[in-house]
Structure 1
Amino acid sequence: MKLRELLERNPVIPAIKNDTYLEEAKNSSSEVVFVIMANLINIKDIVSELKKAGKIVFVHVDMIEGLSSSAYGVEYIIENSGLDGMITTKHSVVSIANKNNIPVIQRFFILDSFSFKNTLVHIRENKPSAVEILPGIMPKIISRIEKAVSIPIIAGGLIDEKEDVINALKAGAVGISTTDKKLWES
């Protein structure tokens, strides 16, 4: 799977919490769905339902209730959930994903110039498959990161208008993730 090409074909990515809007995500035109919240009991079923609908599923492993982000916890999810890729904020999880040849999107919260500089350092050190920048309504920051790294950038968080989608894509993001289902077909 060429992640950049996949994201370019699917610039708006449905992001679901547990099974809320699961049917809408399954029926969306996007090939990709982000599961950004789940628990150990429902994650396998959610992934299975999405895969039956032909979706490529990325799971935010830090947000699986009842799971530790330890190596054993992450290995368990890799082996038992059927995911296609992972999302995480944790450097150790990026390392585990890379070791297992699982595409991994590392999320970064950009709050100030210090977090911006650290984000660039961590991207270069961790080598995730892609990064997700939050909040995604910062075109200037998206543009700066896009110029500094050579991996796909996704914008997420606080995106609730079509204008936010357009601005993030114009700034250099290859995709945006949103829980706002009205934007899934924009």
Structure 2
Amino acid sequence: MEQKNICDKLFSEGAIVPAVRTVDDFKFALNIKSSSIILLFGDIIILPSIIQEAKKHNKRILVHLDLLGGIGKDRSGIRYLARIGVTGAITTKPQLVKFAREEGMIVIQRLFVMDSEALKSGINLLRNCRPDAVEILPASVPKSIIEELVKETNLPILAGGLMHTMEDIELAIQNGVHAVSTSKRELWK
């Protein structure tokens, strides 16, 4: 399946995707229009019940692997997540991208774009690990950088980090990102 179509399955173009840090945030996000929720917390104990609750509300769960407790950051840990119903994974670790893809999960490589060298090495990383999409941080990256990432990787871009207002989100969308993730509840409209 084409990568843009994969991302459209998770979040429509221009979408605001809730990135939840607590159980209370998760419960709040269940009633938001977004079809997906990004988990920035959790562990092996609570994850099955979170996934079960999300399914009741027709929500897909994307887990930030680097922030998940009690699950090995290896092939077996990824296999477990896929089997309990995690739709997708976000990670900064390229080896986890490979494992998650092998398990049929949708994978988003998180990339910190701090300077030109980070952009250059990030493009090489994305070409080698081949995720379904990339999440750039911060979301305020200039339009020219987003255009270069799309041109060089042909991947849909999700942007996250430092989104404080609706104007911040609108600017990121205008700059060419596919969708924006944010942990600020007041922006989840």
Q: Same fold (TM over 0.5)?
A: yes
- Mean Cα deviation higher: 170-179 or 108-117: 108-117
In the alignment, does 2:47 pair up with 1:43?
yes
In the alignment, does 2:154 pair up with 1:130?
no
Q: Secondary structure at the match of 1:54?
A: coil
Question: Which of 91, 96, 100 pairs up with 2:99?
Answer: 96
- The corresponding residue for 1:84 is 87
- The corresponding residue for 2:56 is 52
Q: Secondary structure at the match of 2:147?
A: helix
- The corresponding residue for 2:149 is 145
**Separation (CA, whole Å) in 2 of partners of 1:136 and 1:74:** 27
**Separation (CA, whole Å) in 1 of partners of 2:158 and 2:70:** 27
Q: Secondary structure at the match of 1:132?
A: strand
Question: Which of 167, 179, 183 pairs up with 1:179?
Answer: 183
- The corresponding residue for 1:27 is 31
2:109 alignment partner AA: Q
Question: Which of 56, 64, 68 pairs up with 2:72?
Answer: 68
- After the TM superposition, which parts of structure 1 deviate over 4 Å for at least 4 consecutive aligned residues? none
Which consecutive unaligned segments of at least 5 residues does structure 2 have? none
Q: Secondary structure at the match of 1:20?
A: helix
**Separation (CA, whole Å) in 1 of partners of 2:114 and 2:97:** 21
1:10 offset after TM fit, Å?
6.0
1:21-56 CA distances to partner (integer Å, 9 max, x unpaired)? 122100001111111211111111112111211111
**Separation (CA, whole Å) in 2 of partners of 1:18 and 1:90:** 23
**Separation (CA, whole Å) in 1 of partners of 2:23 and 2:147:** 33
**Separation (CA, whole Å) in 2 of partners of 1:40 and 1:4:** 26
In the alignment, does 2:164 pair up with 1:160?
yes
Which consecutive unaligned segments of at least 5 residues does structure 1 have? none
Q: What is the TM-score with the length of structure 1 in the denominator?
A: 0.92
Kindly report the root-mean-square deviation, in angstroms, between the aligned alpha carbons of the 2 structures: 1.6
Cα pair 1:56 1:84 within 8 Å, conserved: yes
1:116 offset after TM fit, Å?
0.7
Cα pair 1:10 1:32 within 8 Å, conserved: no
Q: What is the TM-score with the length of structure 2 in the denominator?
A: 0.90
Cα pair 1:18 1:46 within 8 Å, conserved: no
Question: Which of 97, 109, 115 pairs up with 1:112?
Answer: 115
1:153 alignment partner AA: I
Tell me the number of residue pairs that the alignment of Structure 1 and Structure 2 aligns. Answer: 184
Identity of aligned residues (%): 33
